[in-house]
């Protein structure tokens, strides 16, 4: 009886395994999974396009990786880890294929950005395992800085424009801060469509503050050093001008009083 029970258990286990790996009509197929369909990389770095497959066959798989373009570009084709043929010049010394089909791409370039299709086929299996992985490649962001025509303005004067600039970085987004806090929606504060430019209309005394901008992309973020915008009251300017005028008048009177014409 014990032997019969063991045989029944083995038969049930075999049936379950067969159901997992056989397709419709009892046809063998490569079962492939992709843990992560979106990989983010940095220029000069590396990207691991990871896949896994399972099959009843003991034969080595034929692995093919292609990059989607108007006409698909074949990166590499291999039997197991042995690469078939010669790699394209732009991929030489930059590609490594693992036994499970995973692709490692070294020294990333902006041109590597795109959708990668992978196919894993085995002679004994009727259906090929297929999948796609999206790779984004971005350039790291350099520290941004703010350009401003003048750091001191008179209240109620014309518009003041602050420009958030940076030397390196791709796929960037921008955020602005006033007094170290995210800039809130104010009618007089206008952002350009790409949010690089901040325009302050009819500057008020409340706008006298420090400003900074942050730049972000899929691989990092950087914040500029703060810059001060100084706003002067109109009355203060008039006092300065009137005081200066009085001082100039006193100086002229003093000079005239002390000056005596020469005999000539």
**Spatial distance between the Cα atoms of 127 and 13, rounded to a whole number of angstroms:** 23
List the beta strands (DSSP E) in 102-206: 103-105, 114-121, 129-138, 145-148, 152-154, 160-165, 173-178, 181-182, 189-191, 197-200
Q: Is 115 helix (H, G, I), strand (E, B) or coil?
A: strand
Confirm whether 42 is domain-assigned.
Answer: yes
pLDDT greater than 80 at residue 249: no
HSE-up of residue 164 (Cα within 13 Å, Cβ side)? 30
Q: Which helix (H) or strand (E) holds 66?
A: strand 62-67
pLDDT(96) > 80: yes
44 and 85 part of one domain = yes
Output the six-digit token pair for 126: 């009727």
Residue 13 domain flag: no
Q: Which of 78, 106, 138 is the last residue of a domain?
A: 138
- Considering the domain architecture, whether residues 179 and 129 belong to the same structural domain is answered as no
Domain boundaries, position 89: 28-138
Looking at the structure of the chain, the number of domains it has is 2
Judgement on whether residues 35 and 119 belong to the same structural domain of the protein? yes
Boundary (domain end) residue, out of 114, 138, 162? 138
The enclosing domain of 213 has a CATH number of 2.60.40.10
Please report whether residue 252 resides in a domain: no
Q: What is the pLDDT of residues 124-165, one digit of tens each?
A: 767 888 999 999 999 999 999 999 988 899 998 878 999 999
Give the C-alpha distances (Å, rounded to integers) separating 181 from 15, 72, 200, 221, 226.
63, 47, 17, 17, 12
What is the tens place of the pLDDT at every residue in 1-52? 443 433 443 333 333 333 333 444 445 778 889 999 999 999 999 999 999 9
User: What residues have CB less than 8 Å from 132, skipping those under 6 apart?
Assistant: 34, 37, 115, 116, 117, 118
3-state secondary structure of 67: strand
Same domain, 132 and 224: no
Residue 160: Cβ-neighbour burial (10 angstroms; 0-12, 13-18, 19+): buried
State whether 118 and 174 are in the same domain. no
Q: Cα–Cα distance between 252 and 45 in angstroms, integer?
A: 72
Rounded to the nearest angstrom, the gap between the alpha carbon of residue 18 and the centroid of all alpha carbons in its chain is 45
pLDDT digits (tens, 9 = 90+) for 158-181: 789 999 999 999 999 999 999 999
Both 69 and 150 in a single domain?
no
Q: How far apart are CA 114 and CA 71, in angstroms?
A: 13
Task: Tell which of 85, 109, 138 closes a domain.
Answer: 138
Residues 33 and 119 in one domain: yes
**Alpha-carbon gap, residue 23 to 115, rounded angstroms:** 27
Are residue 127 and residue 192 in the same domain, yes or no? Answer: no
Q: Taking residues 200-210, what's their average pLDDT?
A: 93
In a domain, 158, yes or no: yes
Residues 156 and 204 in one domain: yes
57 domain residue, yes or no: yes
Same domain, 128 and 212: no
Q: Per-residue confidence at 258, pLDDT binned at 50, 70, 90? A: low
User: What pLDDT does residue 128 have?
Assistant: 86
Q: 149 and 134 in one domain?
A: no
Residue 59: pLDDT band with limits 50, 70, 90: confident
Residues 33 and 117 in one domain: yes
pTM of the model: 0.71
């Amino acid at each position: 009886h014990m032997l019969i029970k063991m045989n029944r258990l083995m038969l049930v286990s075999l049936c379950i395994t067969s159901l997992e790996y056989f397709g419709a009509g009892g046809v063998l197929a490569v079962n492939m999974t992709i843990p992560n369909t979106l990989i983010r990389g940095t220029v000069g770095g590396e990207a691991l396009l990871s896949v896994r497959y399972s099959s009843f066959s003991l034969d080595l798989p034929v692995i093919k990786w292609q990059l989607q373009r108007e006409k698909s570009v074949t990166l590499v084709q291999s039997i197991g880890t042995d690469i078939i043929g010669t790699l394209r010049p732009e991929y030489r010394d930059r590609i490594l294929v693992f036994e499970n089909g995973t692709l490692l791409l070294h020294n990333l370039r902006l041109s590597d950005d795109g959708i990668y299709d992978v196919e894993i086929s085995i002679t004994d299996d009727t259906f090929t395992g297929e999948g796609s992985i999206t790779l984004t490649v971005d350039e790291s962001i350099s520290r941004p800085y703010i350009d401003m025509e003048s750091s001191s303005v008179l209240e109620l004067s014309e518009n003041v424009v602050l420009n958030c600039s940076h030397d390196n970085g791709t796929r960037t987004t921008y955020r602005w801060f006033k007094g170290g806090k995210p800039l809130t929606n104010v009618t007089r504060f206008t952002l350009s469509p790409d949010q690089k430019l901040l325009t302050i209309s009819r500057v008020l005394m409340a706008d006298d503050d420090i400003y900074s901008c942050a730049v972000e992309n899929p691989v990092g973020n950087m914040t500029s050093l703060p810059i001060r915008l100084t706003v002067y009251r109109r009355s203060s300017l008039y006092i300065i001008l009137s005081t200066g005028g009085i001082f100039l008048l006193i100086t002229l009177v003093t000079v005239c009083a002390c000056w005596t014409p020469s005999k000539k």
